[in-house]
């Protein structure tokens, strides 16, 4: 399953946001992988602080379960000063609907 969403980092904190992701904590990476995340990328539009996130996950329920882990909650607290967040310190996200997809046939 492919998912995409947008978040916002304060433009003045964009460099720090990027630094904190290079690399993410190994235990957070392992948690994501253990919850069926196959690929996960975040792109930054520096001028606006807009973040575009794209992930391929085994299931939506497994993806959502990451939010219940201690390491994810700790990561949210760590990142909250840089971003627009909800009351529980999770990043405020705006879901994006897929309207087009093309993929090469692996048999070709």
pLDDT at 107: 78
Asked if residues 77 and 45 have their Cβ atoms less than 8 Å apart, the reply is: no
pLDDT at 88: 97
Catalytic residues: 21
Q: Taking the domains of the chain in order of start, what are their residue ranges?
A: 2-96
Say how far apart CA 95 and CA 71 lie, in whole Å.
23
Tens-level pLDDT at each residue, the chain (108 residues) = 999 999 999 999 999 999 999 999 999 999 999 999 999 999 999 999 999 999 999 999 999 999 999 999 999 999 999 999 999 999 999 999 999 999 998 776
Q: Which of 39, 9, 24 is nearest to 72 (CA)?
A: 24
**What is the CATH class of 2-96?**
alpha beta
pTM of the model: 0.92
Say how far apart CA 91 and CA 77 lie, in whole Å.
10
């Amino acid at each position: 399953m492919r998912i995409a969403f947008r978040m916002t980092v304060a433009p003045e904190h964009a460099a720090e946001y990027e630094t904190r992701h290079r690399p993410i904590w190994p235990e957070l990476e392992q948690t994501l992988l253990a919850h069926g995340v196959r690929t996960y990328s975040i792109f930054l539009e520096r001028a606006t602080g807009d973040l575009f996130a794209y992930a391929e996950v085994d299931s939506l329920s497994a993806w959502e379960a990451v939010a219940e882990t201690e390491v994810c909650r700790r990561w949210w607290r760590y990142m909250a000063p840089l971003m627009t967040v909800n009351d529980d310190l999770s990043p405020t996200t705006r879901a994006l609907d897929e309207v087009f997809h093309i993929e090469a046939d692996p048999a070709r």
